[in-house]
Structure 1
């Protein structure tokens, strides 16, 4: 039986290494964050349905602030709608720490308020459950 319930939340944190910088100013491409959304979606499906599930679509993606190498990014998925086999998730990526190379090679700070960098809504599907 499915344990999926609306309001269920999964959160990951990840340091963004400088090897992932793709553009000038140590910017990281948006696809990197979408990959992280896929990771939290997978854990959501495992916790809610006992299966990794499959990502079906995004209905909205908003890039709101830059993500840079040296950031610590917190990504969350919230289960907002449970269908028979589909699950609609709201995603948010927040910068919670940021490197400060202008202050020194390894300088960084925990931000007093997270910066919302990317938001999205997506749909995942899980297999139909078989009755024993």
Structure 2
């Protein structure tokens, strides 16, 4: 018999996690070093998993997206911040809002390895989704 370990913190609206990532050139699929939208969705799965671990002591399972908006391109060489914020807590479901923000980008016009920190950051992708976790007990 296995028992679920208690979560570090109970699930509370407003809790969130943020990951910072460099987008490798191996993920570029299109002209201009563009990365496909599925890259952002995979990152959303990563932050959702950590948030579920922190709130429920379990990785949870992604159930659905209710909204996904691709607002600006993500390119190889970008530095991104990916966040998940808890917006609704059900008995087994957790609704989250997600964002991918480009915080730095390569600047090939200045040289092959040149880059700049963006101010303001670029909001690339936003979404809302639901994960499910095992029942407590």
TM category, shorter: over 0.9
The normalised TM-score by structure 2 is 0.93
For residues 43 and 84 of structure 2, the distance between their equivalents in structure 1, rounded to whole angstroms, comes to 10
Match of 1:84 in 2: 91
Q: What do you get for the CA RMSD once the two structures are aligned? A: 0.8
Q: Secondary structure at the match of 1:95?
A: strand
Match of 1:25 in 2: 32
Residue 110 (structure 1) aligned with residue 110 (structure 2): no
Point out where structure 2 has 5 or more consecutive residues left out of the alignment: 1-5
Q: How many residues align?
A: 130
Match of 1:58 in 2: 65
Q: Which runs of 4+ in 1 moved over 2 A?
A: none
Match of 2:15 in 1: 8
Match of 1:47 in 2: 54
Match of 1:34 in 2: 41
Point out where structure 1 has 5 or more consecutive residues left out of the alignment: none
Deviation at 1:19, TM superposition (A): 1.1
Which residue of 88, 95, 109 maps to 2:102? 95
The normalised TM-score by structure 1 is 0.96
Match of 1:67 in 2: 74
Cα deviations by residue, 1:17-62 (Å, 9 ceiling, x for unpaired): 1111110000000001100000000000000100000000000000
For residues 21 and 65 of structure 1, the distance between their equivalents in structure 2, rounded to whole angstroms, comes to 15
